[in-house]
Amino acid sequence: MMFENLLEMQERGVRDRARGRSLADNPMSKPDILPITDLQEWYSMFDAWRFGWSIEDAMTGHIEMTGHIDMPRNGRASPRAYTRTV
């Protein structure tokens, strides 16, 4: 497997999260669409997408808890307030 393929899958995870997709939407979790022939390669791609998705999720401050709404990326303030000290 090429390193570039993993980076592309990470970028896809970032884009998918930015578009509002959930962790369950990982394209590598659909073996009927993408048949698994090499377990190691499959897991690497699965994990790369999940990593990209998680990075975007952390960067945009999404909160997914009972009673809270997952805020869209539309320039509105994050529901989480914090003070940054340097």
Unique residue bearing structure tokens 């997914």: 64
Domain positions in the chain: 3-59
pLDDT of residue 73: 52
pTM score over 0.85: no
The model's pLDDT over 44-67, given as tens digits with 9 standing for 90+, comes to 999 999 999 999 999 987 555 444
pLDDT at residue 30, rounded to an integer: 81
What are the pLDDT digits (tens) for 23-48? 999 999 886 766 678 888 889 999 99
Outline where 19-71 has alpha helix (H): 39-60
Long-range contacts: 68-77, Cβ < 8 Å, 24+? 70/20, 72/20, 73/18
| pLDDT (0 to 100) of residue 66 | 40
